[in-house]
Structure 1
Amino acid sequence: MPDIIISEFMQPSAVDDLRRDFDVHYDETLYKRLDELYAMGQDARAICIRNETEIRGAFFDAFPNLKAVGRLGVGLDNIDVPACQERGIAVLPATGANEVSVAELAIAGLMMLVRGTTYFATPDVVAGNWPRGRLIGREVSGKTLGIVGFGRIGRHVARRAQGLDMTVIAADPHVPADDPVWAGMGVEKVSFDRIWDSADALSLHLPYTPETHNLVSAEVIARLKPGTILVNVARGGILDEAALAAALTSGHLGGALLDVFATEPLPADNPFRGVPNLILTPHIGATTDEARIRTGHMIADNVRAVLTGTIPDTAIV
């Protein structure tokens, strides 16, 4: 039986690094076959996963010797962290490895949507049409970006937005007003009420928890300024998807980019069919060539550390 099981995609060079020191079973589709996964868990001391493998309930019975869960990403929705802590299992998120990738997608979506339909004109232009009159958009320069959740990724987004001459405000009850990050970055800490009322664009960077469920509710969406752009590259369930679709259809909001959804993949009855000024991507914010390399090797190094007696600073224990 293997020392380490990898049940979802991991950078091959990182898998090879682990194989130099451990018996590794790597199958990026193993998460789909729970009976097979559980059958080989008896002796495993570590497992590396993305967001499909559920670390909860019966999993723990099948993995009695587990010491580490390497999370090839940062979201912990699929991991029962308290149960891991009770059992002395270190949870190892890839803290910092994919921040740039997520921030860049947020900024790319923001710029496309503020400029309007300009970036979707290719079929018209190729066909010989010249629809300049309906492609007059806006500039991001001088606009106010509200960042909801001012953690590591939110701060990357803030720096990039400031480089575009945007004013940045942020709401995060978990970052105290006296934290030097506010003055150091030149970002004003505001309340949720203030951010809903003031922002020309909103970028969400929160974990999904009971407290953040539908934080951006139908009521919040209704009070946003006309033409507001909304970007969610954080977690599904943070906003009311049906209310967002309705606000885009009515023209109240200027556009939205969603990389994450309450149900993934989208169900057949999702509210987004035919909705204008909407960019949907399949939860790829953290997925770039560079991020995969950083993430894979970070998790390989951290799993090795735990199995050889060292707890990394970013571990949750």
Structure 2
Amino acid sequence: MNLLVLEPLDSEVIEWLGRRHAVRVAPELARDPAALRESLPQMHGLILPPTVAVDHSLLKAAPRLRVIGRVSAGIETVDIEACRMHEVELVRSGTATAQAEAEYMLGGALNMLRRVPVYGADGLLVGRELGQSTVGLLGLTPASKVLAQILPAFGAKVVGYDPSLHESEDLWQQWNIPPVPLRSLMEQSDVLCVQLPYYPRYKGLLGHRVLGHAKANQVVVALTHCAMFDDVALAGAMRSGRILAAWMDSVEPGWLEPDRPLHGMPNLQITPRVASTTRESRVRAAWAVARRMDELLTKAEAPAVAAAERSGA
């Protein structure tokens, strides 16, 4: 089967795939849409970076396509419905980045609690300890499981909320995360870790109604798409001091422009989508995606081989 790789991958992964399929590695095509379209008609599999949008146009240009692999985090540029209509399966690793994301959120929480001071009982401005804090996990992802294992070692209390999971779901108990309603999560959390996967129905979920219930001096670490937040509401909560600091792993272009509410906001830290990208997580994700794509492509190839053998008999 023909496999086109535009995402930089570990050489051992490429070699492994090359022994099983006809692999072309061409990262330059990610910057040349016209040349990419010309390469698609014969391809059965693609491994694409987030900069390449997967939409009806791309899928229509690849009539033989069966599977798309995404090693890097985030699927905001993938039209899931279009993939379904074209019967193309999207392959990602659900757990490869969990450790990296958990460490990122832990580091962000520790940094903000200590670096951004609050008034102590004696009137002095001082930092806080994670061990005396309640950490709210908004979104139950594999990284939540890691955090739920790490945070108690600091002495922190953990609670969680996920709109897609009922409080009676076994997963809460399995991961040792007490579920609470969203309002209660906001009211209890000294640290709010937002990792809920973004879907259009969640646009502006964290708006005035929710952020208005944030515990005083709350700090926020967010891995999710920034559209989860209403930027006007977030700016207002930060100016009032209800949210003392926020650390976001990427924002939309224009979010911090001079005419936008968060422009020049003190104690707002932005990183360029680095939470899930570590040397170790990239290797784990690449192998997971490669093995699953090989499985699917091999399965798709079998009927064609059988048909060719019958026609040649």
TM-score over 0.5 for the alignment? yes
- What is the CA-CA distance between 1:40 and the residue it aligns to? 0.5
What is the aligned partner in structure 1 of residue 311 from structure 2? none
* CA 310–179 in structure 1, closer or farther in 2 if over 3 Å, else same: farther
Name the CA distance, whole Å, in 1 between partners of 2:106 and 2:10.
26
Alignment: residue pair count: 295
- Structure 1 or 2: more helix by fraction: 2
Q: Supply the AA of the counterpart residue of 1:25.
A: R
SS in 2 for 1:17: helix
Name the CA distance, whole Å, in 1 between partners of 2:250 and 2:300.
34
Native 8 Å contact 2:248 2:270 kept in 1: yes
What is the aligned partner in structure 1 of residue 225 from structure 2? 235
Q: 2:130 aligns with which of 130, 140, 163?
A: 140
Native 8 Å contact 1:117 1:135 kept in 2: no
What is the aligned partner in structure 2 of residue 33 from structure 1? 32
Unmatched 5+ residue regions in structure 2?
A: 118-122, 302-313
What is the aligned partner in structure 2 of residue 106 from structure 1? 105
Native 8 Å contact 2:6 2:48 kept in 1: yes
Q: 1:226 aligns with which of 216, 220, 235?
A: 216
What is the aligned partner in structure 1 of residue 23 from structure 2? 24
What is the aligned partner in structure 1 of residue 94 from structure 2? 95
- TM-score w.r.t. the length of structure 1 is 0.85
Name the CA distance, whole Å, in 1 between partners of 2:175 and 2:55.
39
What is the aligned partner in structure 2 of residue 121 from structure 1? none
Name the CA distance, whole Å, in 2 between partners of 1:104 and 1:77.
23
Q: 2:151 aligns with which of 161, 172, 179?
A: 161
What is the aligned partner in structure 2 of residue 122 from structure 1? none
Q: Supply the AA of the counterpart residue of 1:169.
A: V
**What are the superposed Cα offsets for residues 174-231 of structure 1, whole Å, 9 maximum, x if unpaired?**
2233333323333211111211222111111111112211111133223312200111
Name the CA distance, whole Å, in 2 between partners of 1:260 and 1:43.
35
* CA 27–273 in structure 1, closer or farther in 2 if over 3 Å, else same: farther
The structure with higher relative contact order (CA 8 Å, sep 6+) is: 1
Q: Supply the AA of the counterpart residue of 2:159.
A: I
- What is the CA-CA distance between 1:300 and the residue it aligns to? 1.4
Unmatched 5+ residue regions in structure 1?
A: 119-132, 312-317
- What is the CA-CA distance between 1:168 and the residue it aligns to? 0.8
Native 8 Å contact 1:54 1:79 kept in 2: yes
What is the aligned partner in structure 1 of residue 43 from structure 2? 44
Q: Supply the AA of the counterpart residue of 2:37.
A: Y
Native 8 Å contact 1:168 1:187 kept in 2: yes
* CA 301–258 in structure 1, closer or farther in 2 if over 3 Å, else same: same
**What are the superposed Cα offsets for residues 8-56 of structure 1, whole Å, 9 maximum, x if unpaired?**
3333332232222322222334222111111100100000023221111
What is the aligned partner in structure 2 of residue 14 from structure 1? 13
Q: Supply the AA of the counterpart residue of 1:89.
A: V
Which structure has the larger Rg? 2
